[in-house]
Chain A
Amino acid sequence: MNCYIHAIFVIQENNPLILTLMKKYELEDSHKKTIKEICQSFGNKHGELINILHSTQGHFGYLPEAVQNEIALNLNMPLAKIYGVVSFYSFFTMTPKGKYPISVCLGTACFVRGAEKIVEALEEELKIKVGQVTEDGKFSLDCLRCIGACGLAPVIMIGDHVHGRLTPDMIKGILQQYE
């Protein structure tokens, strides 16, 4: 499991995009069927909850309330317990990721070479905080620990692309490459 270091998700209640997404996320029968199948593939076992959530997030991209509720119904488990697990592990997210998810490495090497300044530059440029998505849904910003590219420190990943040896002034130009 990935080791994101930010601990708490900020549920962006004010973000209009998220609001519409959340409201729109009325589970269709096909979604319910998918969740049922995922739960069944793990034998509907309470002990498999993390795997079920992992698999479900893999399918939907995130775990909104309606999806968690559906899992609760399938496993016959308190919804609070499921939310407890979702909120505990930083891997799980209740907000959808942007079209281009940005991950900033805060591992030791990147950290000492100024990764925090990179985070600040990204936050300023995108006008969002870590854990949030831009209003247009294009970028989301997260932090993680070491991606194994310490030689390129400080590094960020945008989707599958790695950008290394960064300085804060390079951020604007890099973001412009993504349409």
Chain B
Amino acid sequence: METVKITIDNKHLEVPKGTTILQAAKQAGIKIPTLCYMNLPHLSREHKPGSCRVCVVEIKGRKTLAPACVTKCAEGMEVLTHSLRAMNARRTVVELLISDHPKDCLTCPSSGCCELQNLAIIMGIREITSVENAAISTYRKDESPSLIRNMDKCVMCRSCETVCNEIQTVGALSAINRGFMAVVAPAFEQDLKDSPCTFCGQCIAVCPTGALTCVDSTPQVIRALADEKKFVVVQTAPAVRAALGEEFGYAPGTLVTGKMVAALRALGFDKVLDTDFAADLTIMEEGTELLNRISRHLQGDKDVRLPILTSCCPAWVNFFETNYPDMLDVPSTARSPQQMFGPIAKTYLAQKLGIKREDMVVVSIMPCVAKKYECQREEFFVDGNPDVDYSLTTRELARLIKYANIDFNSLEDENYDRFMGESTGAGVIFGVTGGVIEAATRTAYELFTGKELENVDFHELRGLEGIRQATIDFDGTPIHIGIAHTLGNARKLLDGIKSGMYNFHAIEIMACPGGCIGGAGQPLHRGDSSVLEARMKAIYQEDANKVIRKSHENPEIITLYEEFLGKPLSEKSHELLHTCYFCHPRK
């Protein structure tokens, strides 16, 4: 490999040709500040428009300062990252950015995790003297059920645009207009809710400021908890337990299941229950549906639609409703675990506890912002009462715990309540890419072959590669499985199926990188892929720790079918646990 020798801040380095100054500096332990730069190594995407100029450095012998993120190292280059000239220029750049930025940091939803605010803190900017009375844009606020777009706070790094168009291939956002009027918006500046936006929220996960944030549902939850007439039930998604600890100083990948349960109980929830239980229920319904379709296919039924697609991810559901309206009968009709939990809690559990439906409030804790939209979908209401009332993100829960004066770190581990608190390892792995299909395989294998599965770990289905495929031997019958995470990879997979490139029986799709562990409601990892890997490890660890690891062996699930539902795909199941999809063709 050809290399070049350079010095950065008098440190001598030898780096491969083509390395940028920013990358080389990082290797040398020098952290040049950036704003518009975004690196997503787990998605092999480096976004470097070179537009903000915060990373400017001085190169000896050059007249002008150079942006470190896009300038490549050249032989003999002498770079100074903190010369007076570079520091002054960088400061001016930040001052100019702030000059037309709202200064409501105290009340900004991104306060504390804003990269522009960080720069101002580091540089000790106390007043903006450069521009007086600068015009601050007053673009309308666009509030969708999940996301809030506040373009006054946009610094035009366009990271969201890259994620929306290149990673997710959703194509909802683009930079529009020019100069001071430039903003990131959907076509014709329509509202996000009218655009092809899937509410996956990956744009808010990469937004360096408060321009893209998620809807805050904590006030409603606080009110519900304070209302003595309400019986408030909470469910926690699998991926939350592997990330919540990060908000309280624990290393990424620390499982905090017990502390989380204790905190929720301390918050005043009447029942602390688990979405993992509903994940097991999903496997019963979806797995049975999968087996039915495969059996019919093997018997030569030409009308059966294969591959079956998972339907747990609300952003993915939005994506295929918008982009593949001709394939609405392909995905499983099984609702997502969140939306299976709601109706069971508000029927079976409510009856058991002697509570009226309207007196029960179901709150979900999700790693996801699309879940906020999902629980508001019309089909998930019964007589004006939603199956799931409010959905909070992992970050919102962390804030709520702090707000309620709970010292999370000193909490003793507690266990989930019963009923609907028992879950299996299969339910836990829903939180990571490949997990849903692995959980389905564990159950489908036993139901299909009638034999006991000896090894429940399907390592061939795991990993962080964008598109994966594996063939599982169902006792002589090969079952082809495809897995994709990120919607861009989902599109590739689906287009591949349409063109006949792939031939699968079942496909799992998750909209976020890494699955739910990388959801937009999780603590922000800013492209640090080691965080995703640690969370993934934690999820598989939780799975391995479980005594029961197959959904159909969950004793509460068995009871639920015996006492209430009958059997999977029964009439009652169809009424409560299945849904249908609607065509939202691209505008």
B187 touches A68 (CB 8 A): yes
A8: nearest chain-B partner, CB-CB: B181
Main secondary structure of the interface of B (DSSP, over half): loop
With contacts A69-B587, A79-B187 known, is A88 near B178, CB below 8 A?
yes
Q: Are A80 and B173 in contact (CB under 8 A)?
A: yes
How many of chain A's residues have a CB under 8 angstroms from any CB in B? 16
Looking at B172, B173, B178, which has the most chain A CB atoms within 10 Å of its CB? B178
Q: Size of chain B's interface in residues, with CB distance under 8 A?
A: 20
Task: Judge whether A58 is part of the interface by a CB distance below 8 angstroms.
Answer: no
Q: Is residue B174 within 8 Å, beta carbon to beta carbon, of the partner chain?
A: yes
Q: Is the CB of A84 within 8 A of B175?
A: yes
Contact: A80 with B181, CB < 8 Å? no
**A13 CB → nearest B CB, Å:** 11
Report Cα–Cα, A68/B173, bound state, in Å: 15
Q: Report yes or no: B165 in contact with A78, Cβ–Cβ below 8 A.
A: yes
A interface footprint on B17-54 (CB within 8 Å = 1, 0 otherwise): 00000000000000000000000000000000000000
**At the interface, yes or no: B476 with Cβ under 8 Å from chain A?**
no
Contact across chains for A83 and B187 when beta carbons are under 8 A apart: yes
Q: Which residues of A contact B170 (CB under 8 A)?
A: 78
Name the A residues within 8 Å of B171 (CB-CB).
77-81
Which partner residue on chain A sits nearest B175 by CB separation? Answer: A84
Which of B174, B175, B177, B178 has most A Cβ within 10 Å? B174
Of the candidates A7, A69, A77, A80, the one whose C-beta lies within 8 Å of that of B178 is A7
B172 to A80, Cβ gap below 8 A? yes
Flag if A80 contacts B177 (CB, 8 Å). Answer: no
Give the residues in chain A near B195, CB-CB below 8 Å.
Answer: 80
Q: Is the CB–CB distance between A80 and B174 below 8 Å? A: yes
The answer to the question of B179 belonging to the interface, with a C-beta cut-off of 8 Å to chain A, is yes
> Which residues in A have their C-beta under 8 angstroms from that of B188?
65, 83
Does B11 count as interface, using CB distance less than 8 angstroms? no
CB pair B187 A82 closer than 8 Å = yes
Per-position 1/0 for A4-25, Cβ under 8 A of B: 0001100000000000000000
Indicate whether B255 reaches chain A with its CB closer than 8 angstroms.
no
Question: Nearest 9 pairs between A and B by C-beta?
Answer: A78-B171, A80-B174, A84-B174, A79-B187, A83-B187, A80-B187, A87-B176, A81-B174, A84-B176
- Report which B residues bind A (CB closer than 8 A): 165, 170-179, 181, 185-188, 195-196, 586-587
Task: List the interface of chain A (C-beta within 8 A of B).
Answer: 7-8, 65, 68-69, 72, 77-84, 87-88
Beyond the given A80-B171, A81-B171, A84-B176, please list 16 additional residue pairs across the A-B interface where CB-CB is below 8 A: A8-B181, A65-B187, A69-B587, A78-B174, A78-B196, A79-B187, A80-B173, A80-B174, A80-B185, A80-B186, A82-B187, A83-B176, A83-B187, A84-B175, A87-B177, A88-B178
